[in-house]
Structure formats: C-alpha cells, structure tokens
C-alpha cells in the first residue's frame, strides 16, 4: 500500500469524525428546543449517522482497493526488476565466457609459440654442444699427440742425462777409489792411521779402568772410546755455541721438548713405574729454573759454561733405564723437603698454642712429639677419624705429621728400600 493511499484514508476518517462531532454538537444545542423540533432533529441525526457509517464503509473499501492496486504495482515492479537482473546476469556470464574463451585461445597460441621456441633452442644447444664436443675431442687428440711427443722427447733426454750421469759417476767413483787407494797406501797416511789406532787403544785401556764406562759399553754396544770422544766433541761444540749465545735456547729445548713427549707417553701408558721418573725429573728441572730466574747473572759470573754443564746434567738425568732423576731426588731434594716439612709442622704446632692449647711437640710421651733426630712424629695423630695410607702419612688435619699406622720407622724403612733399589746411599736428615 502506498503512502498517498494511507494519507487519503486518514483524511476521510478525520472529516467523518469532524462531521459526527458537529452533528453531536447540533443535537445538544437543540435539546432545549420543543419536543417537535427534537424529534426532527433526532431524525436528522439518525440520517446523518447512517450517512457517516456509509462514508466509513466506502472509505475502507476505497483503502482496500488502493492497497490491492499498490501491492499489484509492487509485485509487477519486483518481477520486472528480477527479469532485468536475470537478463543482466545472463549477458555478464555470456561476456565472461567469451572473454575466457578468447584468453584460453591466446594462452594456447602463446604456449604453442613458447614450445616451438624451446624446441628451436634445444636444437640449437644440441648443435652447439656437438660442435663443442667435436672441437674438444680434436683439441684433446692434438694435446695427446703433443704430450706423447713431448713425453718421448723428455724420456729420451732423461735417458741421455742418466746415461751421462752414470758415465760421469762411474768415472768419478773410479777416480775417487783410485785416489782413496793411493791415499790409503801413502806412507804418511799409514803412519797417521797407525798412530791414531795406537792412541785409541791406549785411550781404551785407560778408560777400561772406570767401571761405569765399561757398563755403558755393555749396555749400549757402543765403544766407550767413541762415547767419550763424542761427548768431548759435543761439549766442545756446546762451548762454541755458548760463546755465540746459543747454548741457553738449545739447553732449554733439549731439557723441555723430549721430556714433555716422554712424560705424555708415560701418562698414557698403563704402567705407573715410569711416572715417578718423570715427576722427579720435572721437580729437579723446576728447581734449576727457579735458581736461574733468581740469580742467573751470578751463576754465569762464577760458572761461565753453566748452560753446557746444565745440558750434560739434563742428558744424564734423561738417560734411559738409570733412574738418575730419582737418585738426585732421594739424595738431595727429599731430605730438604723432609726437614722443611718437620720445621713447618713445628711452627704450626707452636702457633696453635696461642689459642689456649698446649704445645706437646717437645713432650716425648705426647702423641704429637717430633723427634729432632729424624724430624718426624713417633706416634702420629690420635684423632680417631684420621686414616693413613701405604706411605705412612696422616690424612688428618695436619699433613706434616706422620701417622701411627706408618710412623717414622715405616717411612725410614720405605726410604731405605727405595734408595737400595735405585742405588743411592741414604742421607741423614739434619734439622735446620
């Protein structure tokens, strides 16, 4: 239903109500007139009311007709809109299909041209590859021919050179042999050789008086005469190197490089017997370096050939099978260490008395008594939690006191056994 139809209906209804209201007012105004006039008026009002009811019925019918017409017009407009939309959609789909067909045809045409171009390119590449392969084969053939020719010429030149070298070597060898034979049969050379042999025999008889040289010859199968001469020549060369300032770096290299390798090999080996040899060697080597760092100029002032002597000493320590480093350690280093340890234990015990504890180091019957002749405790610690290992040392709080399990006697027996094993005379410990 349209808006104009509703407006007309509302206007008709408004006029009808106004007419009714006017009629009602007229009826009320004529109520006071005579009864005759009242009857006429009532009849007129009845007619007016009937006319108003008829007008209302006509207005409703008119409104219904207008609504029906509006609904019909709306349906017609919707049908026309759907028809127009369907026609437009059909035309759009037709246009899209035409465009898609044209695009597909263009793509097919482009793909055909691309495939043709690719085939042309492959044919061109194949032709170029064949030409390149033919050229490479031709060049390789020429190169092989040239290489074979050069190799043949080189082989011929090498054979000629070898033949010439053999001839020259044979001639030189024959000449040298002739000169050597002539020189060997020369009276002066024979006299010199005989005199040198006599000197070597005399030196050998003189060196036979020393047992360690005979032992050296028996162990190494090297004549002691040659060993002494070689050592003397080496020392002479080292003296010359010392004059040019090369003795120190050579000594440090020999004393560090080879022992480092042998120490690493000893650590990797399953046997533990060689570990002690290299531990003692590095202790002695460290002490020498300590002395050099503290007073090298003083040492060189009093011992100009110090590094030569040091090199010979290090070689003696490194001599295999002799355990020379252990000999030096048990003869010199270990006594000093034991004395220092005893003194450190005594100082530690004396310092502990300042905290209200009694010093029992000088009491013979006490557990911590230190024997001044040996520098060790005779009874060890009395701590129940203290344990001792096979070395006789206490694992308690005081590492400088021998335990009761080993005691001083156990340490002394172990020291004597080790010294007898390595051939060192026991050295007594003298307190400082």
Q: Are 340 and 429 in contact (CB under 8 A)?
A: no
**Dihedrals phi, psi of 387, to nearest 5 degrees:** -125, 160
Strand, helix or coil at 365? coil
Whole-angstrom Cα distance, residue 403 to residue 378?
8
| Residues 350 and 291 reside in one and the same domain | no
- Decide if 189 is inside a domain: no
Choice among 80-84, 246-250, 299-303, 363-367 with the minimum mean pLDDT: 363-367
Residue with tokens 């060790």: 376
* Domain endpoint, select from 258, 290, 321: 321
Do 400 and 305 fall into the same domain?
Answer: no
Residues 429 and 330 in one domain: yes
Question: How much is the average pLDDT of 228-250?
Answer: 76
CA dihedral 263, 264, 268, 274 (to 10 degrees): 0
Report how far residue 185's alpha carbon sits from residue 172's, in angstroms, rounded to the nearest whole number: 20
Same domain? 253 vs 306: yes
Q: Comparing C-alpha atoms, which of 29, 61, 62, 23 is closest to residue 45?
A: 23
Q: Do 316 and 336 sit in the same domain of this protein?
A: no
pLDDT tens-digit series, residues 277-297: 889 999 999 998 898 889 888
Domain end, chosen from 62, 82, 102, is at 102
Residue 407 lies in a domain: yes
Contact (Cβ atoms closer than 8 angstroms) between residue 401 and residue 361:
no
Predicted local confidence at residue 282, as pLDDT: 92
> Which of the 8 DSSP states describes residue 366?
S
Asked if the structure places residue 117 within a domain, the reply is: no
Q: Is residue 243 included in any domain, yes or no?
A: yes
Domain ends where: 102, 119, 136?
Answer: 102
State the chain's maximal CA–CA distance in angstroms. 205
Q: Token pair for residue 81? A: 């809109």
Specify whether the CB–CB gap between 381 and 401 falls below 8 A: yes
What is the tally of structural domains in the chain? 3
132 is a domain residue? no
Report the DSSP beta bridge partners of residue 393. 402
DSSP string across 231-244 = HHHHHHHHHHHHHT
Return phi, psi of residue 428, to 5°. Answer: -75, 145
Q: In this predicted model, what pLDDT tens digit does every residue of 113-142 receive, in sequence order? A: 888 888 888 888 888 888 888 888 888 888
Dump pLDDT digits (tens) for 247-281: 778 888 888 888 898 889 888 888 777 788 889 99
Confirm if 1 and 67 have CB atoms less than 8 A apart: yes
DSSP state of 388: B
**Residue 366 class from Cβ within 10 Å (0-12 exposed, 13-18 middle, 19+ buried)?**
middle
Where b means 16+ CB within 10 Å and e means fewer, 182-194 reads eeeeeeeeeeeee
Give me the pLDDT at residue 389, please: 43
108 within some domain? no
The verdict on 400 and 416 lying in the same domain is: yes
Are 375 and 293 part of one and the same domain?
Answer: no
Q: How far is it, in rounded angstroms, from Cα 192 to Cα 292?
A: 46
The per-residue pLDDT of the chain, averaged, comes to 76
Distance CA 232, CA 237 (A): 9
Task: Say which residue, 329 or 363, is predicted with more confidence.
Answer: 329
Share of the chain above pLDDT 70, in %: 76
If asked whether residues 314 and 336 sit together in one domain, one would say: no
The predicted model gives 55-79 an average pLDDT of 83
Residue 425 lies in a domain: yes
Which of 190-199, 208-217, 371-380 shows the lowest per-residue confidence on average (mean pLDDT)?
Answer: 371-380
CA dist., res. 258 & res. 105, Å (int): 88
The answer as to whether 124 is a domain residue is no
Same domain membership, residue 338 and residue 311: no
380 with 402, same domain: the answer is yes
Residue 314 and residue 374 in one domain:
no
Judge whether residue 400 has pLDDT over 60.
Answer: no
The range of the structural domain enclosing residue 377 comes to 323-432
CA distance 388 to 383: 11
Do 58 and 83 share a domain, yes or no?
yes
């Amino acid at each position: 239903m349209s808006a104009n139809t509703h407006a007309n209906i509302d206007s008709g209804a408004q006029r009808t109500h106004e007419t009714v209201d006017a009629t009602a007012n007229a009826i009320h105004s004529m109520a006071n007139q005579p009864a005759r006039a009242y009857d006429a008026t009532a009849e007129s009002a009845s007619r007016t009311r009937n006319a108003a009811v008829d007008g209302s019925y006509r207005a409703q019918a008119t409104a219904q007709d207008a609504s029906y017409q509006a609904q019909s017009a709306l349906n017609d407009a919707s049908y026309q809109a759907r028809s127009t939309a369907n026609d437009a959609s059909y035309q759009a789909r037709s246009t899209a299909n035409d465009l898609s067909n044209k695009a597909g045809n263009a793509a097919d045409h482009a793909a055909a041209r691309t495939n043709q171009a690719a085939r042309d390119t492959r044919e061109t590449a194949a032709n170029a590859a064949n030409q390149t392969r033919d050229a490479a084969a031709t060049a390789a053939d020429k190169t092989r021919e040239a290489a074979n020719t050069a190799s043949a010429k080189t082989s011929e030149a090498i054979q000629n050179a070898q033949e010439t070298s053999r001839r020259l070597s044979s001639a030189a060898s024959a000449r040298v042999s002739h000169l050597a034979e002539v020189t060997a049969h020369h009276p002066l050379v024979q006299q010199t050789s005989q005199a040198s042999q006599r000197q070597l025999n005399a030196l050998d008889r003189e060196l036979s008086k020393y047992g360690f040289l005979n032992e050296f010859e028996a162990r190494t199968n090297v004549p002691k005469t040659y060993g002494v001469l070689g050592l003397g020549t080496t020392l002479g060369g080292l003296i010359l190197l010392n004059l040019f300032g090369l003795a120190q770096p050579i000594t440090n290299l020999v004393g560090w490089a080879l022992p480092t390798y042998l120490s690493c090999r000893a650590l990797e080996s399953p046997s533990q017997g060689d570990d002690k040899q290299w531990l003692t060697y590095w202790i002695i080597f460290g002490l020498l370096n300590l002395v050099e760092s503290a007073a090298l100029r003083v040492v060189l002032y009093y011992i100009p050939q110090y590094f030569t002597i040091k090199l010979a000493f290090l070689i003696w320590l490194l001599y295999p099978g002799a355990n020379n480093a252990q000999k030096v350690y048990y003869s010199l280093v270990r006594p000093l260490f034991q004395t220092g340890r005893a003194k450190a234990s005594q100082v530690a015990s004396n310092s502990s008395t300042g905290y209200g504890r009694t010093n029992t180091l000088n009491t013979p019957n006490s557990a911590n008594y230190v024997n001044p002749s040996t520098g060790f405790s005779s009874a060890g610690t009395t701590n129940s939690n203290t344990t001792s290992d096979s070395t006789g040392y206490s694992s308690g709080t005081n590492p400088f006191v021998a335990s009761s399990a080993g005691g001083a006697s156990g340490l002394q027996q172990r020291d004597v056994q080790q010294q007898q094993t390595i051939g060192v005379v026991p050295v007594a410990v003298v307190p400082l």
